[in-house]
Chain A
Amino acid sequence: MNSARPLVDNEMFRLDKKRHNRFTYRNQWVAYLMLLPAFALLTIFVVTPLVMALIRSFQDYNTSAFVGLQNFEYIFGTDLFAKSFRNVLVMTAIITVVMIVITFLFALVLKAMNNKFGSFVKIVIFIPFFISGIAASVIFTLLTNYGGGLITSILVSLNKDPVSFTSDEVLAYAAIIIPTLWLGFGYNTLVMYAGLINIPNDYFDAAKIDGASWWQTMVHVTIPSMRNYLVLIIVNLITTSMQMMEIPLIMTEGGPLDETLTPVLYLFNAFRDPSRPANATIAGALVVMVVIMGVNIVVFRLLQSKRSEDA
């Protein structure tokens, strides 16, 4: 197949009436047969565990008796869990804002370049997308290690005291946020870039004719035209950042004094700790799901409502 063919074009979204009438209800069983493997696997490995989790969160672990909201009361009463939520909200806020700003600016640079070097840059910045949180943490440990990492080495050769990324609260956040930004920078820049090049050039021409400044064009043309891409990126960033666990696990182990503990890391540790009531941990995991969905719905609504104001 010709690789130059666009992957998604607008025609795709126009439902083809012809197609939908042709085979209507004729070979239904073939469709069911084709859906069967996906349906069965999804039901067994996703839906069943979800239903089990919902039931268990209202049960006592040992007796399976229904105990109402006791598990939720327990998990909300656990200071460590509440703290992990506060931590992850701070991290998510920083990561989302910084990532949006830097990837947007760099996408502007890429768009302005529009040459061979530009396509090379796109490939290079995308490399970290293929690296896992665990591997990224090992790579960054070489830089941040207190005993002999690169940063310590530089500070010592400048006759300054080395800094510890595991015992200083602010630096511990940096040790988590910087690898996270590094991992996601290329992917998010390319999505931003896709948003930028999809804005029709007529918009910019019209703004130019109207005598709009660079800043006015940015605020009134570029950013509003990218709303859908921004929603995609923000929702994606919030969803993934709130589930962060691999990088904190390796970089700080949640420390110092649980200042960088995240809910998923808390739950990961709790699942393996028999002394903690498992059903309360499940209740906590459901809370994580509800919070992520809630935050995403709010973001979606906010960006949607703004759109209707503009229109």
Chain B
Amino acid sequence: MPDMETKKKNFTKRKIVKKIVFGLIAALVCALIVFPIIWMIPAAFKTRREIWQLPNTFWPNNFTWDNFSKVLTSSLNGYNFLSSLGYTLLVSVIAVVLSLFVNMLAAYAFATMEFRGKKALWWYFIITMFIPGITILLTSIKVVYFLHMVDTIWVLIIPGVVSAYNIFFFRQFFYGIPVSLEEAATIDGCSRWGIFWRVFFPMSSTPMVIIGVTTFMGYWNSFVWPSLTIVNNTKIAQVMQVIRILNSNYSSNYGIVIAATLMAIAIPILIFAIFQKKIIAGIAISGLK
């Protein structure tokens, strides 16, 4: 049947054309997305004259490390980029550990235990998801002043530790852990605390990576809160806060701002590179955030 044959041929031909077209579209979109980042990398090695030079070139004519050495060694009105990198890393790491611990513990209680007022407490937690940061910004500052937390690393860490969304996320995950495991652990003489620590905790590596990375990113990228609560202790100012200050002071010597930004985005992207499989799979299945 030659008719059938040509039909089949046309079909596979169309399939191949479709594949090539889609591949090209995808490649183009990828190029558009990474272009701004690729464009900035060599700019960090340009001299102050070259950075706004016309016509602009991709590759620097006079390759220099000056921007990096300047941004890492000098300080501006007490703001020091290197020190802020260190403190932002410290704050983010402590926050991730605390946040995972506190939120998982709460999620465990909601997922596996019955107690009076559970429903009311659950709503009390969930409603806080709908409060925009700006609404409670000024009064939160009053609270942290009252607690003498301003200008310490704790003002950066503690107020953001609890997240109703993270509790919700972990609760959903814990629902999927079979009760028989809990029962077995109880028979072996495990307490509720022991079950959490020995059964639930080791089984939660995937959600811990996803929530851990998003929490880290939230702290690493935070800007508004640190700029209003780190006022005098400029040594612990956070990275984005310092980039904003560099941005408004070095518009003529922009290579410094670019070098700082490059270092600041490298860390979360590196973390993404390490955990990309789990993160992409996590979104594909659950629609994270």
Whether A123 and B280, one on each chain, are in contact in the complex, defined by CB atoms closer than 8 angstroms, is: yes
- Considering only residues 106-141 of chain B, those with a C-beta below 8 Å from chain A are 106, 108-110, 112-116, 118, 121, 124-125, 128, 130-140
- Beyond A20-B114, A281-B138, whether A47 also contacts B39 by CB under 8 A is no
- Considering only residues 37-94 of chain A, those with a C-beta below 8 Å from chain B are 37-39, 41-42, 44-50, 52-53, 56
A-B contact pairs, 28 of them (CB 8 A): A8-B173, A25-B116, A30-B192, A34-B192, A38-B106, A38-B167, A45-B159, A45-B160, A46-B128, A106-B26, A117-B23, A117-B26, A125-B30, A126-B279, A130-B265, A133-B221, A135-B265, A138-B261, A141-B247, A141-B254, A143-B36, A143-B39, A150-B56, A153-B54, A157-B55, A264-B134, A271-B138, A285-B132
CB neighbours (8 Å) of B89 from chain A are none
CB neighbours (8 Å) of A122 from chain B are 280
Q: A185 — nearest CB in chain B belongs to which residue?
A: B33
> Which of A10-18, A169-177, A214-222, A302-310 binds B?
A10-18
CB of A245 within 8 A of chain B?
yes
Whether A292 and B206, one on each chain, are in contact in the complex, defined by CB atoms closer than 8 angstroms, is: no
CB neighbours (8 Å) of B18 from chain A are 112
Whether A271 and B228, one on each chain, are in contact in the complex, defined by CB atoms closer than 8 angstroms, is: yes
Whether A38 and B140, one on each chain, are in contact in the complex, defined by CB atoms closer than 8 angstroms, is: no
Partner of B135, one of A8, A24, A53: A53
Whether A278 and B114, one on each chain, are in contact in the complex, defined by CB atoms closer than 8 angstroms, is: no
Binding site for B on A (CB under 8 A): 1, 3, 5-9, 11-13, 15-16, 18-20, 22-25, 27-28, 30-32, 34-35, 37-39, 41-42, 44-50, 52-53, 56, 106, 109-110, 112-113, 117-119, 121-135, 137-143, 145, 147-150, 152-153, 156-157, 182, 185-187, 190-191, 193-195, 197, 229, 232, 236, 239, 243, 245-246, 249-250, 263-264, 267-268, 271-272, 278, 281-282, 285-286, 288-289, 292-293
Question: What's the tally of chain B residues with a CB closer than 8 Å to chain A?
Answer: 111
Whether A18 and B179, one on each chain, are in contact in the complex, defined by CB atoms closer than 8 angstroms, is: yes
User: CB-CB contacts of B156-185 with A at 8 A, as 1s and 0s?
Assistant: 001111101001000011011001001100
Partner of B132, one of A35, A124, A292: A292
* Complex Cα gap A131–B243 (Å): 13
CB neighbours (8 Å) of A149 from chain B are 52, 56
* Complex Cα gap A18–B265 (Å): 47
Partner of A153, one of B55, B192, B228: B55
Whether B115 and A113, one on each chain, are in contact in the complex, defined by CB atoms closer than 8 angstroms, is: no
CB of B212 within 8 A of chain A?
no
Whether B240 and A113, one on each chain, are in contact in the complex, defined by CB atoms closer than 8 angstroms, is: no
Q: A111 — nearest CB in chain B belongs to which residue?
A: B22
9 more CB-based (< 8 A) A-B contacts, given A124-B34, A130-B268, A149-B56: A1-B202, A25-B114, A31-B114, A34-B105, A44-B147, A113-B23, A118-B26, A145-B254, A246-B223
Whether B207 and A153, one on each chain, are in contact in the complex, defined by CB atoms closer than 8 angstroms, is: no
* Complex Cα gap A28–B115 (Å): 5
CB of B235 within 8 A of chain A?
no
> Which of B1-9, B65-73, B269-277 binds A?
B269-277
Whether A288 and B179, one on each chain, are in contact in the complex, defined by CB atoms closer than 8 angstroms, is: no
